[in-house]
Amino acid sequence: MRVLIICRDNIGDTLLTTPLISALHQSGEHQVDVLTNNYAAPVLQHNPDIRHLFYYTKSHHREAGQGRVACLLQRLKLMLTLKKTRYDAVILAKSRWDQHGLKWVKMIRPAQVIALGQVPHPLITTLLAPDTSGQRHISEILFSLARPFNLSVSAPGGLTLQPDAAIAAALRKKYAIDADRPVYALQISARKPSQQWPAARFAELAQTLAARHQCQIVLLWSPGSRDNPRHPGDDEKASEIMALCPRLSLKAVATTSLPQLIAAMSLCQGLVTSDGGAMHIGAALSLPVVAMFGDSDPVCWHPWQVKHQVLHPTSRQVTSLSCSEVYQAFVGTVIQ
């Protein structure tokens, strides 16, 4: 049975779809292709459960010099390719209703279209009621899209992510990361203001870890300036942390692409980060994670099936968390 999973979402949501992908593939009865966007595609590359990975460019993800018309033509060509495949089923892998995926369904015209939602649509043949309790993880909600296939597996497994070994080896050499000493990652970027822990506290945590443990500390962040209107980054915050730790041999790994971030994190044995895509990358790489949650729900979004500790202050602002709280959580989760 030829199945296409349309997953046109962010990095974290895309990774949380991988248990569904794995279960379908490993049943031995389905050939699984995935359609995603170019931004999230790297987290699915090298995934052994995917036969073909297709991706397109969203208008706001265009690179400099890449025209809107060229993006639309690329998308149309891809639609025609998918239509020729004659899929038996298309799964709209969204934990909440989103009609944008139906634009692809109109062209592909599969025999069956499976989606979560409450309002019937003529293009959707199998509409599953979404979970509205707020008590289930997003990975479990996405996995419920497998119900029409009557799989023997009834619950989602862990996340799947394959780092690029060549990139990881190059980063290990470039930043002189010793394989014989523990490597801990501090990922300092967060999209939501409520999830942004201050540079001074990251610096204090780095100094505390270095003073009390024989370890190497890798600093990771979203590349670019905070003033970049398309892709704001944390170059300035990383520089501030480095300046606050003049005697500390921090390894500031300037990852300029998602495959580099994945590879860099694969060299580590523990992670401190706010809730977001990087947190799910860490979980997919089986790292123990200390996750700082601000204005987001840890019940739905906590690190999936790895050892972790969630820090969720009542203020719903991670700035309320002290260095001591994060350090104690890290010791109990990663170093213990």
* Strands, E assignment, 101-194: 112-116, 126-128, 183-187
Are 189 and 123 part of one and the same domain? no
Domain end point (choices 90, 119, 149): 149
- The answer to whether residue 325 is domain-embedded is yes
Residues 257 and 324 in one domain: yes
pLDDT in tens, the chain (336 residues): 999 999 988 999 999 999 999 999 999 999 999 999 999 999 999 999 999 999 998 655 556 556 677 778 888 899 999 999 999 999 999 988 878 889 899 999 999 999 999 889 999 999 999 888 889 999 999 999 999 999 999 999 999 999 999 999 999 999 999 999 999 999 999 999 999 999 999 999 999 999 999 999 999 999 998 887 767 899 999 999 999 999 998 999 999 999 999 999 999 999 999 999 999 999 999 999 999 999 999 999 999 999 999 999 999 999 999 999 999 999 999 997
Q: In this structure, are 174 and 318 located in the same domain?
A: yes
Closest residue by Cα to residue 149 from 105, 205, 89, 196: 89
Round to whole Å and give the CA distance between 133 and 318: 25
31 and 180, same domain (yes or no): no
Phi, then psi, of 195 in degrees rounded to 5: -110, 5
Range of the domain at 235: 165-335
Q: Would residue 176 be called left, alpha or beta, if left means φ above 0 and alpha means ψ between -120 and 50 degrees?
A: left
- CATH, residue 296: 3.40.50.2000
Q: Please give the radius of gyration of the chain, using alpha carbons only, rounded to the nearest integer.
A: 21
Same domain, 170 and 145: no
CA–CA gap between residue 77 and residue 38 (Å, rounded): 15
Question: In this structure, are 134 and 101 located in the same domain?
Answer: yes
In a domain, 314, yes or no: yes
239 lies in the same domain as 275: yes
What pTM was estimated for this model as a whole? 0.94
Residue 221 and residue 100 share a domain: no
Query: Helix H segments across 195-303?
Result: 199-212, 235-244, 258-266, 277-284, 298-301
- pLDDT at position 59, please? 52
Query: Domain check: are 173 and 260 in the same one?
Result: yes
In a domain, 142, yes or no: yes
Where does a domain end: 149, 175, 206? 149
Three-class SS state of 264: helix
Parallel, antiparallel or unpaired: strands 112-116 and 126-128:
parallel
The answer on 17 and 128 residing in a single domain is yes
Domain count, the chain: 2
Q: If 0-12 CB within 10 Å is exposed, 13-18 middle and 19+ buried, where does residue 143 land?
A: buried
Which of 142, 83, 130, 75 minimizes the C-alpha distance to 111? 83
Domain assignment of residue 154, yes or no: no
Domain shared by 175 and 111, yes or no:
no
Cα-Cα-Cα-Cα dihedral sign, residues 52, 282, 14, 9? negative
